[in-house]
C-alpha cells in the first residue's frame, strides 16, 4: 500500500510564518499598552487567559477532527472493504474516501471517457477552421474535491509510477507545458487508474513505460534515472508563464482603454447655442 505523503517542509515553514506573525502582533499589542501606560500584572494575566482559551478551542477542534476521521474510515472500509484504491501510488488516507464518496456506483459511467468528462479532468480545446489550440484549462465539470484528490494523487504518483512520471516529463520537456498544465495530463491518467481499480475492484500493479511489471523500488530508481525534469527547464517554464500573464494583463488593460474611448465617443455631446440679445 502506498501511503500518501505530506509536504512536511512546507507545513513547517507555514507554521513558522504564523508563529512569527503572532509574535509580531503580540509585540504590537505590548507597544500600544506601553504607550497607554496600561502594561501591568493584570495585562499579563488577561493575555495568559486568552492564550489558554485559544489552546482549549484548538484541542477541542482537533478532537472533533479525530472523531470525524475515524467515522470516515469506518464508512470507507464498509463501502470498499478490499481497500484496493490505496494500492495506487499516491492514493492514501484522505484521498481514497473522497473517491469512494464522489464516484459511488462506478457502473453509472458507461465508459472511461464518460468518467473523465464527469470529473472535468479533460483538457479543453478551442478549434476554428484555421487554428486548433489543445491543452487548455480543464473544464468546470465535476466536484472540486475530486479534482483536488486527483491533483494530490498525481503529485505523489508521478514520483513512484514510471508511466505517470513519463507523462509529466514529456509534457514539460518536449511539449513546453508549465507544471500545472503537465499536471492536468497526469491527473487524467491518475483518474483512469482510479476508475479501473474501483470498477474492477482489483489491486493496482506498477508497470514500467513498456508495460512490464516493476517493483516499487525499481520504479523509483527508473524515475530518478530517466524522468527528472531539469531545473533550467522548470525555470524557463515559470518565466514563460510570467511573460504570458504580463501579456494577457496588458491586453486586458488595452481593451479596457479602447472600450472607454468608444464609450466616450458614443456619449451625448454638448450642443453650443448662441446667446439671445439682452442676456
Of 206, 99, 192, nearest to 159 (Cα)? 206
Q: Spell out the domain ranges in the chain.
A: 84-123+138-254
Instruction: List Cβ neighbours of 199 (8 Å cut-off, separation of 6 or more).
Output: 106, 107
Q: For position 271, what pLDDT does the model report?
A: 45
Residue 132 has pLDDT above 60, yes or no: no
- Is the pTM here over 0.95, yes or no? no
- Contact predicate 91/208, CB 8 Å: no
The Cβ of residue 165 has, within 10 Å, a number of other Cβ atoms equal to 25
The alpha carbons of the chain give a radius of gyration, in whole angstroms, of 28
Q: For position 279, what pLDDT does the model report?
A: 38
Stronger pLDDT, 189 or 5, i.e. the higher one: 189
Residue 9 has pLDDT above 80, yes or no: no
Q: What digits encode the pLDDT tens for the residues 53-80?
A: 989 999 999 999 999 999 999 999 999 9
Amino acid at each position: 500500500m502506498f501511503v500518501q505523503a505530506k509536504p512536511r517542509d512546507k507545513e513547517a515553514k507555514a507554521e513558522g510564518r504564523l508563529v512569527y506573525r503572532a509574535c509580531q502582533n503580540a509585540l504590537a499589542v505590548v507597544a500600544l499598552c506601553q504607550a497607554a501606560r496600561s502594561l501591568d500584572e493584570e495585562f499579563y494575566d488577561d493575555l495568559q487567559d486568552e492564550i489558554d482559551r485559544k489552546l482549549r478551542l484548538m484541542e477541542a477542534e482537533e478532537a472533533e477532527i479525530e472523531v470525524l476521521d475515524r467515522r470516515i474510515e469506518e464508512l470507507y472500509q464498509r463501502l470498499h472493504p478490499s481497500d484496493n484504491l490505496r494500492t495506487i501510488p499516491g492514493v492514501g488516507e484522505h484521498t481514497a474516501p473522497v473517491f469512494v464518496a464522489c464516484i459511488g456506483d462506478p457502473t453509472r459511467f458507461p465508459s472511461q471517457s464518460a468518467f473523465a468528462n464527469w470529473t472535468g479532468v479533460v483538457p479543453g480545446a478551442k478549434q476554428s477552421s484555421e487554428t486548433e489550440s489543445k491543452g487548455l484549462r480543464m473544464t468546470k465539470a465535476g466536484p472540486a474535491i475530486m479534482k483536488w484528490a486527483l491533483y494530490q494523487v498525481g503529485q505523489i504518483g508521478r514520483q513512484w509510477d514510471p508511466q505517470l512520471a513519463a507523462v509529466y516529463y514529456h509534457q514539460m520537456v518536449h511539449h513546453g507545458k508549465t507544471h500545472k498544465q503537465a499536471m492536468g495530463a497526469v491527473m487524467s491518467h491518475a483518474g483512469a487508474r482510479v476508475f479501473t481499480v474501483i470498477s474492477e475492484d482489483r489491486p493496482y500493479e506498477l508497470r514500467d513505460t513498456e508495460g512490464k511489471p516493476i517493483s516499487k523500488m525499481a520504479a523509483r530508481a527508473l524515475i530518478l534515472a530517466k524522468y527528472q525534469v531539469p531545473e533550467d527547464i522548470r525555470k524557463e517554464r515559470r518565466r514563460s508563464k510570467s511573460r504570458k500573464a504580463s501579456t494577457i494583463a496588458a491586453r486586458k488593460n488595452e481593451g479596457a482603454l479602447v472600450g472607454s474611448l468608444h464609450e466616450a465617443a458614443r456619449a451625448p455631446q454638448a450642443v453650443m447655442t448662441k446667446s439671445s440679445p439682452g442676456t
